[in-house]
Every structure is written in structure tokens, then in C-alpha cells.
Structure 1
Amino acid sequence: MSEPYKLGDLVWAKMKGFSPWPGRVAIPTPELKPPKKASNVQCIYFFGTNNYAWIEDNNIKPYQEFKEQLIKSSKTAAFKEAVNQIEEYIENPEKFGDLDDHGRSAEEEFDKLKDVLEEEEARESRGEPEEGSSPEVKKKSATPKIRLGNSKVKAVKRSSSAGLKGTPRKKAKSGSVSRSFTDSDLATEKPSMLNHSFSKKSSLLHRPSNILRPDTPPLDLENVSETLLEKNIKASQMKFGFLGLGIMGSGIVKNLLNSGHKVVVWNRTAAKCKDFEKVGATIAVTPCDVVEEADITFSCVADPQAAKEMVFGNCGVLHCPTLESKGYVEMTSIDADTSHDIVEAISGKGGRYLEAQIQGSKTQAEEGTLIILAAGDRSLFDDCQSCFKAMSKNSFYLGSDIGNASKMNSVLQVVGGVSLAALAEGLALADRAGLNQADLLDVLALTPLASPHLILKGRAMIESSYSTHQPLTHMQKDLKLALGLGDALEQSLPLTATTNEIFKHAKRLGYANHDAAAVYIRARF
């Protein structure tokens, strides 16, 4: 293997379909096996991603020499972060530690790599199979390869100590050959908007996530939103219970407390309740205790099964000695059948029931600008008005028929989910066609299709920023519920069915707990 570049050289390295990216010639990690039948390749560590891959020499350029030419090849946040990191590395390499510390010295690793390459070349020249395997087994277990430059090169993932992993990319069609990384590319190639690396595994069941779910910043419970102040709410003198302090529940309870309501809380993870206790909430030990202490109890948990457990499970709502005249408001996104099961149980013990489905995200929950879709007991809806005013910008009463709110929520989620998948595919197509995705969003914002929500999600897709506002798994769950409603009504929902599969695929890629905007990963790759 020729070595025009030395270990530690800073370079611009280019993978097919991606912009040149700042990197460093590095020692391969243990899992990064040497490519077969490929010459003149280097192992490159990509700054800003913690990924490693084999790159051909003709797809590599010296960093400093081509810095002015290539530093503007992409405008994404990930690219800028990578450039910042390599510049920091130049200024203070000690800050980064030993990038080649894989348990042995660099010299040992490099010598071992040479020995492996020489041994494999000798074995292949003799036509021998890999050690310990028959030709048949070798053929079956061969890892798919990606054409990069004019030779086949395996590109693999590298996990950082934080767990960052490479996202898979589709295998290139047999016989396809990418262009070399030449100066002429700089004038003609449009920059890719994302930084993702290839995976050596082709099975969808084994494709990992390459972006960790960002840490959710702690909720500032004492900071009263301007929206809430403008509402001038007169809090009800009743006591309210709240089951579930997740992404949505936390923001809702914050606004209930800041608007002067008396609230008793319960959460499956008890530690989450401590912060709310500091700002005036009372903590209960079980859901049953919440209902017993409160006049009206809200439930906002993950899914229909969790909602049923709150009512029918051990120490659940039905274990309360009496529900006479007490109110129970189900805010979990559920199907109409589950809602009917809950109302029968609650009303059977003398309680009042209201389903109050919520439209919005984590941000709207914290700002108190959700939309409430309610159905059920009218008197309970009226008793909740001060609470609904604190948590939403509008509440709709859709009648006394239980299930109306759940059905309306499903319809809205169908529109939202299909639109999000369509946006993801549009951005992926633009990127593949060499168009600037930011320009696409700017144009979209001026058309009749303009939507603040879609523009916001589009920005997140471009920047690979999937901080969770609405979990992707929740969107997929809502699409599944909508399909169930369609089946019950014999209503064909082909677009919804396809969109559901797209979101399911994104979940399988490891993005279940990322924001729903991460569906772009499925569309792009």
C-alpha cells in the first residue's frame, strides 16, 4: 500500500455523494478491517463525526493547501463544527488526546496493519480462502462493498466514547464508479447538506443511529412564559392531579403551577417529581393516591397501553375508594376503543370522564399554546377551563360522544405525518439533485405551501438537529392508530399506510426517541 500521506496528516477527504470533509490520516480502529483488492487508500478520521473510513488517495487533498478553496463547500452546522474542531486540533492537539489510542501504540497498530495487508495479498495471490473459513462460507459472509473512486472500498462506522455511530447509506449499484476528487469537482459539485458515514452492515435490522438523542435541557419551572402572563388566568380553587411528567406533561404542569393552580403529581420515575415539588406541587406515591387527593385528574402518558395501566393497573385509578363526582381527563393520544374502555370504568364508579387530546409539541406545551380537542362530560370540560386556558391557546368541545376527540386527533396526525414524510423526501431529492436545501426552504416559505411547522422541521433536517420536540415513535404510534380507525371504518388510507412504514423504518434505524424530523434519515439513506 503506497503512502503519499503520512500518519497524522490533516486532509480534506471526500466520500461519494458527500462534500469534502476535514479529516486526519489515522490508525484504523480494530473493527475497521483493511479493504481487499484496493490500493492507494488511507484510513481517515473525520472531525466532527468521530467516524473512520477508508478513502482513496485521489479523493484526498492536503488540508492547509486547499483550505481556502474548500472551507466554503458546505454551510451546514455539522460541517462548520468539523472545521472548528480541526482548527482547534491544529492550535491545541493535546486537547483531543490521542486519536489513535485503540489500546496499543500507533507503531504497533501500523505494523500490524502492514502485516495483515501483506498476508492477505499473499493469500489472495495463491487463491486461498480466509483463515478459518471455507470459500463457501467466505462468499456468504462477505461484507457488501461500496465503490469509492475507481476501486471497491469498504467504509465502516466508528463509535465514539459517547456512542456516536455511523448512519448507513445505500449500497452503490454494481458497476457504478464515482469521479475522482479533482480540482474540477470544486467548481461543479454542489455540497451535500449532511455529514453521515457508511455502515459496513447492510441489514436494516442492524443499522445503527449515528446521532445521539440530544440531552433535553432542564425545564426552568420558575420562568413564567410571556404567553401565560398575557392570559391573566384566574385559577380554579379545585385541586388538580396530574399523571405523567414526560415531554408534554412537564410543560403542562409547569404552566398549571405558574398560573396558580394547586397540583398533585405522580410519575413512573419518581425523581422527576422532586423539581415540581420545589415550585409548589404535591407528590403522590401512586396514581390511586393522586385521584384520591384531587378533584380532577389529568393523565398524559406514552400510549394507549400506558393509559390503561393508569386506570386498571395495580394502584391505578380504579383502586381509589370513591370516584363519585371526581373528574378524570385523558390527555394521552389514544384510540376511540381505549377511550370507551376507560369511560366505562370511570363512570361505572360514579366518576366523570373527558378525553382531551392535545395538538402541539414540547415547545407549545412549555409556552402554553397547545390546542385541546375534547369530548365527553360537558360539565367536566367547563370545570377544566382555567387549566385549559393555562396550557393551550384554544380548546374545542367536540360533543358528548366519547371517541370524537381521539378520531379528530388521528385525522390531524395523518395530515401532519404525511406532510413531514413528503418534506423529508423533497429535501432528499433536492440534495441528490445538487440543489441547495436551504434555498428550497426559502422558496417554500413564499409559496402557498408555506407552513411554520414544516419550515421549522425542514431546518432541523438540514442541520441534523433532532432535539426531541415530538418523538418520532409517538408520530408513528399515532399513524398506527389512524390506520386502525381506517380499518374499522373500511376507509382506504394508502398514503398513511406508506408513511407509517417510513416512520417504522426510521425507528428501526435507531431514531425512535429523536424528533419526528429524523424521518429524513430514512428518506435520505
Structure 2
Amino acid sequence: MAEMSSPGKYNFGDLVWAKLKGFSIWPGRKPKNSYCVRFFGSNDYAWIGKESIYPYEQHREQYSKSCKSVTFKKALRLSEDQFIAIKGDKSYEPLSVLLNHNEKKASLSTPQPVKSTDPFNSKKANTASASVQRDYSRTPFKRSDTFETPTKRELKTETKIDNKKRLRLSPSIAKKEVDDSNLNDDYLSDEPTTNNIKLNKVKPRCIEKPSNLKFGFIGLGKVGQQVLKHILSAGHEVSIWNRTPSKCKEFEKLGASVMKTPGDVIRAADITFSCLTDSEASSSIFFGNCGVSSEINASKGYVELTSMDPSTSVEIEIAINERGGRYLEAPLIYGYPQELEEGKVLAVVAGNRSLFDDCNSCFEAICSHVYFLDECVGAAAKMSIVISSLYGNINGIVMESMTLVERLGLLTKDFVEIISKSSFSSSFLKAKATSILDNTLVRDIAMAHIRRNFNYTLGLANTKTFSTPITATTNEVFKQKFSHYF
């Protein structure tokens, strides 16, 4: 390897670690007369700033563990071959991450009993091979079809159940104190809400067992409230924080512990969920003066439920890894509010696998399916962006179709009925039927969220020089609709 003349300057052919926005740090080699880096494995080139390039040998052991994907391991083996060849010294030991990878491959043919040494894993160790794990994407979580509140008669017969357990069975928000022996009508009301979020249509989740770990939850917007509702109803111990303290009060009655700062939540919990508006909000809470990043250590796990651009997710992961913590990105996917209310959303997940397993009971409480995509952070964020773009484009074509129906003098009722009987029918269109008939579709869809996700898609496509003409056109339609109606 050529010696560096001074810190921050690299010679032609130097092996380096390069960080491209939106991707994990990756081994590469500096070509001549430029800061354009050629990446091992893919042989792609990219222009990288000086601040995002690091000497290969100096950070060899540290950054070799930054990603666990097969593609990364292949690139790492190629870079190591070059490294040994340049140094001309066979005494260098192979990287531990490659040794572990080879040992794991060799062990697949002879399963051995495994004992869990992970202090976070509350489940008993599986006696099968370590590589045999539950495939969440193929096994729907078991639960009842509906989660209707028990009738007043059913609740009145449960007089022996203490008040705390009763709140778990039916987390309705009472305006008055509830007596153990005499439930009043306020407690049995059919429409108790907190900030228009219904909290009474939940029965205990059909999960194997609530985790013994302590959980934290940051962010109580419309999505966050529904998610927290299900996690609490499943019997988990949760510490919470929200920028607007008043939103925490009703959940405190359900057993949540309210904290003064996000940093206090991290300190009190083993694993903390973050559910915020967008990338900017997540980055502000994590890196800002709220104390989140400073409280991360080897005993902490951090799960980001926020839909965000991949680059922000990777930045958070790097900061957590540097402090020895574990990170998971798990954006939620749903088409209409009922899925949130009933705990039937989907989650796409990427990141630390052991943290994913530790969050099993929480995911069961809020999701119908969970798809673990990769241990390399960014995969889930990208998948969420693609699916969100599809959702936005479908809404866009439905709005355009309704405009055509109106301007051509056709009846909306006829249009909806014909579509429902045709092969074009879908659960998505059926869920939108009422809004279409009432001509309130524009106001009923999550316009701000669709525009946010379109911006992520177009930004990522621009970075990759992909062409996305349909999404770009639909985004302009939504911009016009948003300025007109909101």
C-alpha cells in the first residue's frame, strides 16, 4: 500500500473505506488524479468527499463489521486480498468477521445445540441450528378477526378482576375514578378518545408472552398513539415521551411511565421505539440536545418506526454502532387507518437480527406480518419508499379517474359499482369507495405523508440517476391538490 503523504490526502491505488450518502460504509480503492472511489464487489465508481474517506488499514477491523450482507462480505474478501498483496506480508491475520462468516457456513451442515448468551434475549435458546430462525414473513401472527370492546354485561361480571388488569383487557379512557366493585357508565362508554384516536377497540394480543424487557416509546402522533396502544395492551412495560405532554396523560392511566426528556426514555428502557413524522424529526431528536445519542450504550437497542430516507437511517445506525448499541429500522406499511386500529399493519425490517428477535412480542402486537429483509440498514427504508410510491401513484390515478367521471357527466355511483364487480376490484378500492362516493377522497388520504414519501423517492432516484416519470408527474398533481385543498 502506498504511504499517505499527510493526513487527509490519498495516493493513487490506496485502499480506503468510503461512505456514500444512503449506503453503508464500503471498502474501495482510490483511482488516479481524483477522489472518485471504485468500490470492491460491484466495481461501481462514486465521487466521495474527503470527510467521508478513511484509511483502510487504520479502520480495517472497525469498519469490516459495519454491514453483514453477502455482497459486503464478498467485497471485503476482495479488498483483503488486495491489502495482503500490497503489504506483501502474510503475517496479517484474516478479519474476525470473515472468520466468523466461514465458521457459520461450515456449521450449517452439522447443527449443534446453541445456548443463548445474549443478555437481551428473554426467550429460551433453540436447540436446533443457530441458523434456523422463525420466518416472520411466512407465518402470520395469530389473532382474533375482530377486536371489539366487550359488552357492558360482560364487563360487569368481571368484578373480581382488579382495576389495573381491567384496564389492560379494555383500555378505555375513564374520565372518573373507577371503583373495583362498581364500574360506572363513563368507563363503559363506546367512544372514549384521546386526540381523536380510539383506544377501546382492543383485546389482549394473541402473543406467546410479553417480553420481560423494558421498552421506551418516543413520539405520540396519530400513528404513534395507535402503535403504543397495542404494545401496552399486550402487557409490556413502557416509558414514553412526547413533545406535547398532554398526549401522554391518557397512556399514563394505562400503565405507561411518562418521562421528561427523550434521553430519560433511553436511560430507563432496554429497547426504545421512535415513531416520528419524517427524517428531519428523527434526526433532530436523535442528534439534537434531547440526550438520545448520548444515552446509547452497549445495553441499549433503538428501533426506528419512522418512514425516512435511507441516508438518515444509516447515519443513525453508524452513531449507535460507535457507542456499541443495536439498531433496527422498521417502517410501517398500511393503506387505511383501520389497519392501525386493529393492529394489522405490515413492517419491513433491516438491521441487527438479535434486536429484531428481542422485539418479537411488540411486533406481534402491532403487525399482521413482519418482513426481515437484511442485516444491512437501508434495505427496509428503500422498500418502504417503493411501496409508498406505489400507494401514492394508485391514489393519484383514482383521483384522475374521478375527475374524468365528473367532467364527462357520468355517475360516480355507476363507476364504483362497475369497478367493484370487475377484475379491477381490490380491497384497496373497496376501502376507498365511501370517500369516492362522497367526493372526499382528496381530504381523506394522508396527503402530507404521500408527498413526504414522494420526495424521498425522487431524491433517491436522482442520486441513483434513475428515471421515475410517473412518480414525478403524480407528485406534481399532489402538489397542486395540496395547495388547493389545504
1:359 equivalent in structure 2: 333
Q: Aligned match of 1:343 in 312, 317, 341? A: 317
1:496 pairs with 451, 458, 471, which one?
471
**TM-score normalised per structure 2:** 0.58
Q: Does 1:331 align with 2:302?
A: no
Q: For residues 297-312 of structure 1, what are the structure 2 equivalents within 5 Å?
A: 297-312=272-287
Instruction: Supply the distance in 2 between the matched residues of 1:381 and 1:479 (Cα, whole angstroms).
Output: 28
Q: Quick check: 2:194–2:247 contact (8 Å CA) kept in 1?
A: no
Q: Secondary structure at the match of 2:347?
A: strand
Distance 1:233 1:390 in 2: 10
> Is the Cα contact below 8 Å between 1:318 and 1:346 reproduced in 2?
yes
Partner SS state of residue 456, structure 2: helix
Residue 387 of structure 1 pairs with residue 365 of structure 2: no
TM-score (norm 1): 0.54
Q: Distance in 2 between matches of 1:509 and 1:313?
A: 35
The 8 Å contact of residues 265 and 284 in structure 1, kept in 2 or not, is answered as yes
| Structure 2 runs not aligned, ≥5 long | 1-192
8 A Cα contact 1:359 1:409, kept in partner = yes
Shift of 1:359: 0.2
Checking the alignment, whether the CA contact within 8 Å between 2:240 and 2:248 is kept in structure 1 is: yes
Q: How far apart, CA to CA, are the structure 2 residues paired with 1:422 and 1:365?
A: 24
Aligned twin of 1:167: none
8 Å Cα contact 1:221/1:279 also seen in 2 = no
| Deviation for aligned residue 1:471 | 2.4
Distance 1:455 1:222, change over 3 A: closer
Instruction: Tell me, in whole angstroms, the C-alpha distance in 2 between the residues paired with 1:389 and 1:351.
Output: 23
Which amino acid is the alignment partner of residue 477 of structure 1? R
Q: Give the direction of change, closer, same or farther, for the CA distance of 1:413–1:220 in structure 2 (3 Å limit).
A: closer
1:218 paired residue number: 196
Asked if structure 1 preserves the Cα contact closer than 8 Å seen for 2:454 and 2:471, the reply is: yes
- Count of residue correspondences: 293
Distance 1:509 1:418 in 2: 19
Unaligned regions of 5+ residues in structure 1, if any?
1-214, 512-525
Task: Note if contact 1:221-1:276 (Cα within 8 Å) is conserved in structure 2.
Answer: no
Amino acid at match of 1:299: S
1:23-53 Cα offsets, whole Å, 9 max, x none, are xxxxxxxxxxxxxxxxxxxxxxxxxxxxxxx
- Cα pair distance change 1:374/1:468, threshold 3 Å: farther
In structure 1, the residue matched to 2:417 is: 442
1:99-145 alpha-carbon deviations (Å, 9 max, x no partner): xxxxxxxxxxxxxxxxxxxxxxxxxxxxxxxxxxxxxxxxxxxxxxx
CA distance in structure 2 between the partners assigned to 1:246 and 1:492 by the alignment: 34
Q: Which residue of 2 aligns with 1:376?
A: 351
Match of 1:266 in 2: 241
Tell me which structure has the larger Cα radius of gyration: 1
Which amino acid in structure 2 is aligned with residue 406 of structure 1?
A: A
1:256–1:390 CA contact under 8 A, matched in 2:
yes
Residue matched to 1:279: 254
CA distance in 1, matches of 2:440, 2:321: 45
- Matched with 2:85 is none
Aligned-partner Cα distance in 1 for 2:373–2:364: 17
SS of residue matched to 1:477: helix
**Structure 2 residue aligned with 1:412:** 387
Structure 2 vs 1, CA of residues 278 and 244 (structure 1 numbering), >3 Å: closer, same or farther? same
Q: How does 1:130-145 map to 2 (within 5 A)?
A: none
Cα separation, partners in 2 of 1:467 and 1:499, compared to 1, 3 Å: closer
Question: Quick check: 1:247–1:469 contact (8 Å CA) kept in 2?
Answer: no
Tell me, in whole angstroms, the C-alpha distance in 2 between the residues paired with 1:220 and 1:334: 26
Cα distance in 2 between the residues matched to 1:300 and 1:414: 20
Instruction: Give the superposition deviation at 1:221.
Output: 2.8
Quick one: distance in 1 between partners of 2:353 and 2:424?
37
C-alpha separation in 2, matches of 1:426 and 1:338: 36
Provide the aligned C-alpha RMSD in A: 1.9
Deviation at 1:216, TM superposition (A): 8.5
Rate the CA distance shift 1:450–1:316 in 2: closer, same or farther, 3 A.
farther
Equivalents in 1 of 2:444, 2:415: separation in Å?
23
Structure 2 SS opposite 1:495 = helix
Change in 2 beyond 3 A, CA 1:217/1:245: closer
CA contact (8 A) 1:241 1:264 kept: yes
Q: What is the identity, as a one-letter code, of the residue corresponding to 1:243? A: I
Whether the 8 Å contact between 2:399 and 2:442 is mirrored in structure 1 is no
CA distance in 1, matches of 2:200, 2:409: 47
Amino acid at match of 1:340: V
| Identity between Structure 1 and Structure 2 (%) | 40
Task: Give runs of aligned pairs for residues 121-136 of structure 1, distance below 5 A.
Answer: none
C-alpha contact (below 8 Å) 1:251/1:362 kept by paired residues: no
1:428 and 1:481 map into 2 onto residues whose CA distance is 27
Hey, what's the Cα distance between the residues in 2 that align with 1:440 and 1:483?
A: 32
